[in-house]
Amino acid sequence: MRTLRGATTAVLTVLAVTAAPLTPALGSSAATVTAVTASAFTAPASAFTAAAPSAAGRHRRTVGVHKVRWSSATPVAHGRKVRLTWWSGVAPCTVLDHVSVRETARKVVVTIWEGAKPSAAHAVCPAIAVRKTATVALKKRLGSRRLADGAR
Protein backbone atom coordinates (compact mmCIF):
# COMPACT_ATOMS: atom_id res chain seq x y z
CA MET A 1 0.00 0.00 0.00
CA ARG A 2 1.25 3.48 -0.89
CA THR A 3 0.14 6.93 0.13
CA LEU A 4 -0.15 10.23 -1.70
CA ARG A 5 2.55 12.81 -1.24
CA GLY A 6 1.34 16.01 -2.82
CA ALA A 7 -1.12 18.82 -2.86
CA THR A 8 -4.79 19.11 -3.59
CA THR A 9 -6.69 21.91 -5.25
CA ALA A 10 -10.09 23.13 -4.23
CA VAL A 11 -13.01 25.13 -5.54
CA LEU A 12 -14.99 26.87 -2.83
CA THR A 13 -18.57 28.01 -3.13
CA VAL A 14 -19.20 30.84 -0.70
CA LEU A 15 -22.54 32.05 0.59
CA ALA A 16 -22.44 35.69 1.58
CA VAL A 17 -25.14 36.86 3.96
CA THR A 18 -26.02 40.53 4.10
CA ALA A 19 -28.60 42.23 6.28
CA ALA A 20 -30.42 45.45 5.56
CA PRO A 21 -33.09 47.06 7.70
CA LEU A 22 -36.59 47.05 6.30
CA THR A 23 -38.48 50.30 6.72
CA PRO A 24 -41.27 49.39 9.14
CA ALA A 25 -44.83 50.49 8.58
CA LEU A 26 -46.22 53.01 11.05
CA GLY A 27 -46.93 51.36 14.36
CA SER A 28 -45.07 48.10 13.59
CA SER A 29 -41.79 46.88 14.99
CA ALA A 30 -38.58 47.03 12.98
CA ALA A 31 -37.63 43.99 10.90
CA THR A 32 -34.49 42.84 9.16
CA VAL A 33 -34.35 41.31 5.70
CA THR A 34 -31.52 38.93 4.96
CA ALA A 35 -30.35 38.39 1.39
CA VAL A 36 -28.23 35.39 0.45
CA THR A 37 -25.98 35.55 -2.58
CA ALA A 38 -23.62 32.92 -3.93
CA SER A 39 -20.27 33.29 -5.64
CA ALA A 40 -17.51 30.84 -6.54
CA PHE A 41 -13.76 31.10 -6.89
CA THR A 42 -10.78 28.79 -7.19
CA ALA A 43 -7.97 28.85 -4.68
CA PRO A 44 -4.93 26.76 -3.88
CA ALA A 45 -5.51 23.83 -1.55
CA SER A 46 -3.39 25.46 1.12
CA ALA A 47 -6.26 27.84 1.71
CA PHE A 48 -8.55 24.95 2.68
CA THR A 49 -6.39 22.03 3.79
CA ALA A 50 -3.72 21.34 6.33
CA ALA A 51 -0.02 21.50 5.62
CA ALA A 52 1.44 18.98 3.18
CA PRO A 53 1.62 15.39 4.43
CA SER A 54 4.72 14.30 6.32
CA ALA A 55 7.42 12.10 4.81
CA ALA A 56 5.24 9.06 5.54
CA GLY A 57 2.45 10.66 3.51
CA ARG A 58 0.22 11.28 6.51
CA HIS A 59 -0.47 14.31 8.65
CA ARG A 60 1.12 14.04 12.04
CA ARG A 61 -1.83 15.45 13.91
CA THR A 62 -5.02 14.63 12.03
CA VAL A 63 -7.80 13.35 14.28
CA GLY A 64 -10.94 11.40 13.44
CA VAL A 65 -9.43 9.93 10.27
CA HIS A 66 -12.01 8.21 8.07
CA LYS A 67 -12.52 7.03 4.48
CA VAL A 68 -14.15 9.42 2.00
CA ARG A 69 -15.80 8.42 -1.28
CA TRP A 70 -14.43 10.05 -4.41
CA SER A 71 -16.83 11.25 -7.10
CA SER A 72 -14.53 10.67 -10.08
CA ALA A 73 -11.18 9.13 -10.93
CA THR A 74 -9.50 9.96 -14.23
CA PRO A 75 -6.35 8.30 -15.58
CA VAL A 76 -3.71 10.90 -16.52
CA ALA A 77 -0.09 10.80 -17.72
CA HIS A 78 -0.79 7.87 -20.04
CA GLY A 79 -2.34 5.82 -17.23
CA ARG A 80 0.62 6.21 -14.89
CA LYS A 81 -1.36 8.46 -12.53
CA VAL A 82 -4.96 8.85 -11.40
CA ARG A 83 -6.63 12.20 -10.67
CA LEU A 84 -9.28 11.92 -7.96
CA THR A 85 -12.11 14.38 -7.36
CA TRP A 86 -14.33 14.49 -4.27
CA TRP A 87 -16.51 16.87 -2.25
CA SER A 88 -15.51 17.79 1.26
CA GLY A 89 -15.47 20.52 3.91
CA VAL A 90 -12.98 23.27 4.75
CA ALA A 91 -9.97 23.33 7.06
CA PRO A 92 -9.42 22.93 9.90
CA CYS A 93 -12.61 20.87 10.13
CA THR A 94 -11.88 18.63 7.16
CA VAL A 95 -8.35 18.05 5.82
CA LEU A 96 -6.78 15.42 3.60
CA ASP A 97 -4.85 12.95 5.74
CA HIS A 98 -3.62 10.65 2.96
CA VAL A 99 -4.59 8.63 -0.13
CA SER A 100 -3.82 4.91 -0.17
CA VAL A 101 -3.41 2.81 -3.32
CA ARG A 102 -3.63 -0.98 -3.52
CA GLU A 103 -2.79 -2.46 -6.92
CA THR A 104 -3.54 -5.97 -8.17
CA ALA A 105 -3.43 -7.53 -11.63
CA ARG A 106 -7.17 -6.85 -12.18
CA LYS A 107 -7.93 -3.66 -10.26
CA VAL A 108 -6.56 -0.59 -8.51
CA VAL A 109 -8.24 0.35 -5.23
CA VAL A 110 -7.79 4.03 -4.30
CA THR A 111 -8.94 5.25 -0.88
CA ILE A 112 -9.09 8.86 0.30
CA TRP A 113 -8.62 9.40 4.04
CA GLU A 114 -9.66 12.67 5.70
CA GLY A 115 -9.78 13.93 9.25
CA ALA A 116 -9.66 17.18 11.19
CA LYS A 117 -6.93 19.27 12.71
CA PRO A 118 -7.03 19.23 16.51
CA SER A 119 -7.75 22.97 16.37
CA ALA A 120 -11.13 22.15 14.79
CA ALA A 121 -12.45 21.31 18.26
CA HIS A 122 -12.45 25.07 18.97
CA ALA A 123 -13.39 26.27 15.49
CA VAL A 124 -16.63 27.13 13.79
CA CYS A 125 -17.06 24.58 11.01
CA PRO A 126 -19.23 26.01 8.21
CA ALA A 127 -21.24 23.65 6.04
CA ILE A 128 -19.53 24.66 2.79
CA ALA A 129 -18.96 22.17 -0.02
CA VAL A 130 -15.46 22.20 -1.47
CA ARG A 131 -14.49 20.25 -4.58
CA LYS A 132 -11.03 18.81 -4.01
CA THR A 133 -8.66 16.98 -6.34
CA ALA A 134 -5.54 14.94 -5.78
CA THR A 135 -3.30 13.06 -8.22
CA VAL A 136 -1.66 9.81 -7.19
CA ALA A 137 1.04 7.84 -9.05
CA LEU A 138 0.64 4.14 -9.84
CA LYS A 139 3.40 1.50 -9.79
CA LYS A 140 2.29 0.22 -13.20
CA ARG A 141 0.11 1.76 -15.92
CA LEU A 142 -3.60 1.40 -15.31
CA GLY A 143 -4.17 -0.31 -18.66
CA SER A 144 -7.33 -2.49 -18.57
CA ARG A 145 -7.42 -2.69 -14.79
CA ARG A 146 -10.57 -1.45 -13.06
CA LEU A 147 -10.47 1.57 -10.71
CA ALA A 148 -12.30 0.98 -7.40
CA ASP A 149 -13.13 3.31 -4.53
CA GLY A 150 -11.81 1.88 -1.26
CA ALA A 151 -14.45 3.82 0.70
CA ARG A 152 -17.38 1.97 -0.92
The one-letter amino acid code at 54 reads S
Instruction: Tell whether omega for the bond before 21 is within 30 degrees of 0, i.e. cis.
Output: no
Q: What is the pLDDT of residue 25?
A: 41
Structural domain total, the chain: 1
CA angle 35, 36, 38 (to 5 degrees): 145
The structure's pTM equals 0.63
Domain holding 6, by residue range, is 2-10+43-149
Indicate whether 19 pLDDT > 90.
no
Flag whether 35 is in a domain.
no
The answer to whether position 38 is within a domain reads no
Of residues 84 and 122, the one with the higher pLDDT is 84
Average pLDDT, the chain: 74
The rounded distance, in Å, linking the Cα atoms of 31 and 66 is 44
Render pLDDT for 23-79 as a digit per residue (tens, 0 to 9). Answer: 334 443 333 322 332 333 333 443 333 334 433 455 568 999 999 999 999 999 999
